[in-house]
Structure 1
Amino acid sequence: MARLLNGIKVVELAGLAPVPHCGMMLADFGADVTVIDKKHPVVEQRMNRGKTMKEFDLRKPEDIKKVRELCKTSDVLLDPYRPGTLEKMGLDPLSLWNDNKGLIICRISGYGQTGRMKDEAGHDINYVAMSGMMPTFAGREASRPWPPVNMLADFAGGGLSAAFGIVSAIHARHHNGGKGCVLDCSMTEGTAYLASFVQHYYDQSHLFTDKYAAFTGECPIYRYGKVKEEVAIENAWKNVFRTYKTKDGKFMAVGPLEPKFHQNMFEVLGVDGDDLFSDPELITKELEETFLQKTRDEWSKVFEGKDCCVTPVLDIHEVGTYGQHVDRQNFTKSDKFGGTWIAKPSPRVQTMEELTATATRSKL
Structure 2
Amino acid sequence: MQPLSDLLVLDFSTLLPGPLASLFLAEAGARIVRIERPEGEDMRRFPPRFGETSAPFAALNRGKTSLAIDLKAPDAVERLRPLIEKADILIEQFRPGVMARLGFGPEAMRAINPRLIYCSISGYGQEGPRALEAGHDINYQAIGGLLGQSLKRGEPAPLPPTLVADIAGGAMPAVLNILLALRERDRSGQGCHLDIAMTDAMPTFAWYGLAQGQASGRYPQGGEGLLTGGSPRYGLYSTADGWFLAVGALEEKFWATFCAAIGLEEALRDDRRQEAATRAAVAALIGAQPAEHWRALLEPLDCCCTVVRTLEEALADPHLTARGLLDRQAEEPGGRRIVSTPLPLAPVFRDAAPALRKVPAVGDEAL
* Contact map agreement 1:137 1:148 (CA 8 A) in 2: no
Contact preservation (8 Å) 1:128, 1:147: no
1:219 and 2:235 aligned:
no
* 2:37 equivalent to 1:38: yes
The answer on 1:106 being equivalent to 2:143 is no
Q: Please tell me the residue identity of whatever aligns with 1:53.
A: S
Matched residues in 2 for 1:202 and 1:89: separation? Answer: 44
How far residue 97 of structure 1 moved from its aligned partner, in angstroms, is: 1.6
Report the identity percentage.
32
* 1:70 matches 2:109: no
1:164 has 2:176 as partner: yes
Q: Structure 1 residues 143, 227: closer, same or farther in 2, change over 3 A? A: farther
Bigger Cα displacement from structure 2, 107-116 vs 217-226: 217-226
**Cα displacement (A) at 1:184:** 0.6
The equivalent of 1:154 in structure 2 is 166
- TM-score (norm. length: structure 2): 0.55
Q: Is the 8 A contact 2:145 2:206 kept in 1?
A: no
Give the C-alpha shift of residue 55 in structure 1.
1.4
Please tell me the residue identity of whatever aligns with 1:172.
Answer: E
Q: Is the 8 A contact 1:157 1:194 kept in 2?
A: no
State the alpha-carbon separation in 2 of the partners of residues 192 and 210 from structure 1: 14
Could you tell me which residue of structure 2 aligns to residue 49 of structure 1? 62
Whether the 8 Å CA contact 1:209–1:216 is kept in 2: the answer is no
SS of equivalent to 1:174:
helix
Specify whether residues 202 and 60 from structure 1 end up closer, same or farther in structure 2 by C-alpha distance, changes over 3 A only.
Answer: same
Amino acid at match of 1:188: T
Question: Per the alignment, do residues 94 and 209 of structure 1 end up closer, same or farther by CA in structure 2, a change over 3 Å counting?
Answer: closer
3-state DSSP class of the match of 2:90? strand
CA distance in 2, matches of 1:195, 1:70: 41
TM-score scaled by length of structure 1? 0.56
Question: Does structure 1 conserve the Cα–Cα contact (< 8 Å) formed by 2:85 and 2:112?
Answer: yes
Give the equivalent residue in structure 2 for 1:5: 4
Give 2:12's aligned amino acid: L
Q: Give the aligned partner of residue 175 of structure 1.
A: 187
Contact conserved, 1:25 with 1:163, CA < 8 A, in 2?
A: yes
**Match in the other structure for 1:190:** 201
Distance in 2 between residues matched to 1:145 and 1:202, nearest whole Å: 24
Q: Give the Cα separation in 1 of the matches to 2:133 and 2:69.
A: 27
* 1:208–1:215 Cα contact (<8 Å) kept: no
**Gap regions ≥5 residues in structure 1:** 229-364
Higher relative contact order (CA 8 A, sep 6+): 2
Aligned residue pairs: how many?
A: 224
Distance 1:70 1:86 in 2: 16
Partner Cα separation in structure 1 for residue 225 and residue 203 of structure 2: 21
The answer as to whether partners of 1:141 and 1:218 remain within 8 angstroms in 2 is no
In 1, the alpha carbon distance for the partners of 2:28 and 2:206 equals 26
Partner Cα distance (2:38, 2:82) in 1:
20
Q: Tell me what 2:13 maps to.
A: 14
2:34 partner letter: V
- Output the amino acid matched with 2:33: T
Number of the residue aligned with 1:82: 95
Distance 1:203 1:63 in 2: 51
Residues 278-309 of structure 1, C-alpha deviation per residue, up to 9 Å, x if partnerless? xxxxxxxxxxxxxxxxxxxxxxxxxxxxxxxx
Give distance in 2, aligned partners of 1:204 and 1:141: 24
Distance in 2 between residues matched to 1:186 and 1:92, nearest whole Å: 17
1:121 matched to 2:131? The reply is: no
The 1:227/1:216 distance shift into structure 2, 3 A limit, reads: farther
Q: State the one-letter code of the partner of 1:135.
A: G
Amino acid corresponding to residue 92 of structure 1 in structure 2: G
